[in-house]
Structure 1
Amino acid sequence: MILATALAGVVFGIALAAPPGPMNAIIAEESVVRGWNAGFRAGLGAMLADVLFFLLALAGVVAVIDRYPVVRPVLYLVGGLLMCYFAIGATREARAATAFTDGSHASSKGFRKTFALSLTNPYQIGFWLTVGVGLLQSGTLDIFAHVPGVGAALEGALVVQTGSPALLAGFFGGIAVWIVVYPAALVSAGRRVDALAPVVAALSAVVLAGFGLVFLAVGALQVV
């Protein structure tokens, strides 16, 4: 039972970390431009933010954010501005990167980027206000129901007991697996295809800009 719960946690962690988004865009950019170490550090920044939110949820501090309606639009606006700013940097990387450089490029800021974005990401905070709190309390959790995009179709496929240390360990273990394997796969592809680096950097810029504009729009609407 403990092993099954831990494996379920791993699946849950990977399922939440894997979908395309701002964090994976930065991890991808760092990986193909600066190498595996830079990509891994970028992933570590996002994971560290999750660990911080977990500790705050454990202490009951995260719930305070939900009591002040003004906090959410501010987070959307700040997060949107950061994403647009990082999109400009990714555009410059796309123009400068002619091939996979394996760390010979400029120093990496991926850790700081993903950590800052995670701390101002309303979706990530919302997760720890809802599902994250559920992970800490004794009960049950429908693992696949919370997977972005396909949750409705997979609802009820895997239900596990919550409040278990094995589930939490597996959850963060799944995220750790993703931030190791994902950059490694990109680096492997980048070594074979020189054109991959500028293409991935350009796509990262598009993803960051797209999410940034959406966040700014949502924040502005909530302010109004």
Structure 2
Amino acid sequence: MFGLALAAPPGPMNAIIAEESVLRGWSSGFIAGTGAMTADIIFFVLAYIGVATVVEELPLLRGLMITIGGVLMLYFAYDAVESAQTTFSGDGAPDGSRGFEKALVLGLTNPFQILFWLTVGVALLEPGTLDILAHTPYIGEAVAGVLIVETGSVALLAGMFGGIVVWITGFPALLAATDRRIDSLEPFVASGSALILVGFGIVFLWDGLGTLL
């Protein structure tokens, strides 16, 4: 439940997964998902060995990472617009997939993931209790207190990453299956992905530049 709650909310990661899934099929969407999960694994390792606290103690470094993430999201939004134009014109999906690289670099510069691993992620490694759904993006306050678990266990970490795997497997499969039934889905998903990336890119740039300045 924890892994699904973290992976499912709309955001830049799912925008990339959706775009790859409808334009290039399930495998490309899944590979993009593994890029996002790889970023989480990297943050997990950094939290485990204590390096994550360095980012927390250096707000300018965190601001720089967030600013880079905002710039990258705007760039990938432009790429999504080009994909939408290509599919609208009937030329088919553009060649080549960079879904893994896109999701990985966005994951490493995504404020949600950075802040999660600086706070909740570190707490997961220490024995205690944690209200896990309270930290779900957007809806945390509404579901606070629903699921409280013991932290510091291998089972919790395995379950979290297992839930992420379920999402990055099932979400692309659902989109690919839907796309086979709706011929005009690709350009609309690509356009929606571009809008999401632009929105988050602007927010992250504002946040990052505000921190740096």
For Structure 1 versus Structure 2, the TM-score category normalised by the shorter chain is over 0.9
Q: Which residue of 1 aligns with 2:115?
A: 126
Q: 2:69 aligns with which of 59, 76, 79?
A: 79
Residue 183 of structure 1 is aligned with which of 172, 183, 188? 172
2:86·2:94 contact (CA, 8 Å) conserved in 1?
no
The answer as to 2:38 corresponding to 1:48 is: yes
CA-to-partner distance for each residue in 1:133-185, whole Å, 9 max, x for gaps? 11110000112111122211221111111001000000000000000000000
User: Aligned equivalents of 2:60 and 2:27: distance in 1?
Assistant: 38
Residue number among 48, 51, 65 corresponding to 1:61 in the alignment: 51
2:132/2:147 contact within 8 Å kept: yes
* Offset, 1:105: 4.6
Count of residues paired in the alignment: 212
**For structure 2, which runs of at least 5 residues remain unmatched after alignment?**
none
Percent of residue pairs bearing the same amino acid type: 56
Q: CA deviation at 1:34?
A: 0.4
Q: CA deviation at 1:36?
A: 0.5
Given that 1:80 and 1:215 are in contact with CA atoms closer than 8 Å, whether structure 2 keeps it comes out as: yes
Which residue of the other structure, out of 172, 186, 194, is the alignment partner of 1:205? 194
Confirm or deny that 1:195 pairs with 2:167.
no
Question: Is the contact made by 2:83 and 2:94 (CA closer than 8 Å) also made in structure 1?
Answer: no
Which ranges of 4 or more aligned residues in structure 1 deviate by more than 6 Å? none
TM-score, scaled relative to structure 1: 0.91
Do 1:144 and 1:155's aligned partners in 2 also have CA atoms closer than 8 Å? yes
Q: CA deviation at 1:77?
A: 1.2
Query: Which letter does structure 1 place at the counterpart of 2:52?
Result: V
Offset of 1:122 from its aligned partner? 2.2
- Report what 2:106 is aligned to: 117
Listed as ranges, the matches of 1:1-224 within 5 Å are 11-98=1-88, 105-224=94-213
Residue ranges of structure 1 left out of the alignment (5+ in a row): 1-10
Q: CA RMSD in A?
A: 1.4
CA deviation map 1:191-211 (0-9, x unaligned) = 000111000000000000111
Distance 2:110 2:123 in 1: 19
The residue type paired with residue 133 of structure 1 is V
CA contact (8 A) 1:34 1:100 kept: no
Q: Deviations over 1:78-129 (max 9, x none)?
A: 001000000000000001114796xx75121000000011111122111001
8 Å contact from structure 1 (residues 39, 110) kept in 2: yes
2:150 alignment partner, SS class:
strand
Aligned mates of 2:47, 2:6 — CA distance in 1: 18
Aligned partners of 1:77 and 1:219 also within 8 Å: yes
